[in-house]
Structure 1
Amino acid sequence: MERLGERIGSGLVVGDLIVLTGPLGAGKTTLTRGIAEGLGVRGPVQSPTFVIARTHPSLVGGAPLVHADAYRLDSALELDDLDVDVDGSVTIVEWGRGKVDGLRDTWFDIEIERPVGSVEGSAEDLDLDAPRVVTITRVDA
């Protein structure tokens, strides 16, 4: 996931918005670590679950990375209230599907799917090395 993220990150520019969707443990933050590496921003990149958004400045004179977690947010308005600089950064929003409308005219929706180890599908049953299916879609509002 990190190598894929590096490839994605190397092609992103200021103003790009990425929405990451996938179940708990799918690799959203791992993919974001790779994107951060590709952008050349200062880390470490960790899940922003409890702080909601973290900003990582560029180490190479490029775009900073804003990494947000919208799991506990109800709408784009709440995300907008965080005063995230979507015009001056690359912004990644985990759990952001349906919550970024109005922030940008276009964005990339990245969905990560992974198999689970049992019929119940609990997070404890996940195989960390199991392959994932990653679907990247450009969304035009």
Structure 2
Amino acid sequence: MILDDPAATEALGARLAVLVRPGDVITLEGPLGAGKTSIARGLLAALGLEGEAPSPSFAIVQPYAPPEVRFPVLHVDLYRIDDADEIAELGLDEAESDSLLLIEWPERAPGYWPDALMLTLAIEEDGQRRLTAAVPPGWRERWQQI
């Protein structure tokens, strides 16, 4: 899928918001500036977040809870994680059953979320973004609606 500009990237996030539910994990992979946080911002806005969602680069985990959003969401940025063992300290396993997890830089923890909807963004020469998706069984019907 080609995303023409930042607005199209955020719009994809908004379309995902209609389909997500607690217990889902979406990973967002790609180079700096590819649009990972833009997808997350579009999704969070469509779930009810007013104002701009900050990038969780320094906080690592940015939680959102009702009434701020429809259901709990953890926006996670693993860019600063040096060792996958550090992920256990973040408490994501406990939150996974009742929250949506949005994970940026999942390549810092390979194989950690095997059932995630894995979205990868690449920057094309003309500045557009190319999105590829690895769609697990639990997402196949929903992904067709994108």
For normalisation by structure 1, the TM-score amounts to 0.78
Q: Which residue of 2 aligns with 1:124?
A: none
Q: Which residue of 2 aligns with 1:127?
A: none
CA displacement, residues 111-130 of structure 1 (integer Å, 9 cap, x when unaligned): 0111257xxxxxxxxxxxx2
Q: Distance in 1 between matches of 2:135 and 2:38?
A: 21
Q: Distance in 1 between matches of 2:21 and 2:46?
A: 11
The answer to which of 67-76 and 56-65 deviates more is 56-65
5+ residue gaps, structure 1? 118-129
Say whether 1:99 aligns with 2:95: no
| AA matched with 1:94 | E
Q: Which has the higher helix share?
A: 2
> In 2 relative to 1, CA 83–42 (structure 1 residues): closer, same or farther, beyond 3 Å?
farther
5+ residue gaps, structure 2? 1-8, 138-146
Say whether 1:113 aligns with 2:122: yes
Q: Which residue of 1 aligns with 2:132?
A: 135
Q: Distance in 1 between matches of 2:80 and 2:91?
A: 16
How much does 1:38 deviate?
2.5
Q: Distance in 2 between matches of 1:10 and 1:34?
A: 11
> In 2 relative to 1, CA 60–74 (structure 1 residues): closer, same or farther, beyond 3 Å?
closer
For normalisation by structure 2, the TM-score amounts to 0.75
Paired-residue identity, %: 31
> In 2 relative to 1, CA 61–24 (structure 1 residues): closer, same or farther, beyond 3 Å?
closer
How much does 1:136 deviate?
1.7
1:114 and 1:132 in contact (8 A); partners too: yes
Q: Tell me, what secondary structure is at the counterpart of 1:97?
A: helix
| AA matched with 2:107 | R
How much does 1:57 deviate?
1.4
